Amino acid sequence: MRLKRIDAFDINFVDSACRKEFKLDSSTGQGESRIYIGHDEEKYDEFFEFDNIEYIFTDKKDLISYLNDAYEEYMFPSQSYRSNITLMYEDLKNEVENISSERLVYKFTKTFDNQNRYYLVLISEGDNRKNYNCIRNIALPRVTKYCFIKFEDLDSGKKYIYMRPIFFNDLKAAQMEEEIINIAEEKENSSTKRVRRLKQNAYRTALLEKMPFCPFTMVADDRLLVACHIKPFAVCDSDDERYDPKNGITMTPTFHTLFDLGFISFEDDGTLLISPFLSNITKKRLNIKDGDKIRLQSGSGKYLEYHRNNIFCKMPNISAEDLVD
């Protein structure tokens, strides 16, 4: 089976589309099934091709992954929800784990209103609503992205769209590693804090000696470079891993963010991997493409393997049997 990726994009899941229990206190709506996409009717019609797409689908494991990632938000909400979502988490987790199908399939049409707002509207027939509610029942507004990948089965000529909900809190994504370090330091005495800071500085210095520039932009001004962990600081098994210069890549901030969010990764030899979730226009503007060879330091193989397997955003494994409706 040969699959060809056509394009991708993502949207923010907004308050107007979530279930009523998840709506924010500031909202006055009751909740609806239609999904706000954007304003460009021609662009989105070209992507969704409602008459030519077989169906849109999501994997059950995507929902489990979403709930795992959103655990902190459910337990310690950063937004004012209409209901106590903390009390709902375990029941929702059980419901998702007990879904009988490994793949959820549904079909949409569109509306485009007089304010130039483009919505996906669920076609209410068959199991469409039941399947889509598996996502809608867990997706929190403003901190969820719906990511779409459109692809074609070259053997049959049929087109499909893979849709994945991803928990994404911009503030947490930007500050997570620094917060982890700060929390760790709060529990340490002044002597231990000093040792840890010295280790951090030594790590950055050693990495800059091995990689004194960003391999994408070739910027060599160390004021503009980030010492980016390959295997994240928070999940390292020991200080040997946390402060190992081989567990690092020097990057400018844009590429650091792409790497941390799993939109890019690398083979051990430095071959660039680009997530299928990154849109064609974004790749063009970043001037990157699959197969580009990036100059990395040697000896980072075990860390790169972790990143590819645990952080890099990939398509699920799909066979011809999987695509039979």
pTM, two decimal places:
0.83
Mean pLDDT of the chain: 88
Which of the four pLDDT bands, split at 50, 70 and 90, describes residue 179? very low
What SS3 class is residue 258? helix
Which CA distances in Å does 214 have to 60, 207, 225? Answer: 38, 11, 7
What SS3 class is residue 22? helix
Residue 216: pLDDT over 90? yes
Residues 6+ apart with CB under 8 A from 177: 229, 232, 233, 234
Q: What pLDDT shows up at residue 171? A: 43
Residue 166: pLDDT over 80? yes
Residue 15: pLDDT over 50? yes
Q: What pLDDT shows up at residue 229? A: 94
Residue 40: pLDDT over 70? yes
**Token digits of residue 157:** 């000529």
Which of the four pLDDT bands, split at 50, 70 and 90, describes residue 220? very high
**For 222-257, b where at least 16 C-beta lie within 10 A, e where not — what string?**
eeebbbbbbbbbeebeeeebbbbbbbbbbbbeebbb
**For 277-313, b where at least 16 C-beta lie within 10 A, e where not — what string?**
bbbeeebeebebeeebebebeeebeebbebbbeebbb
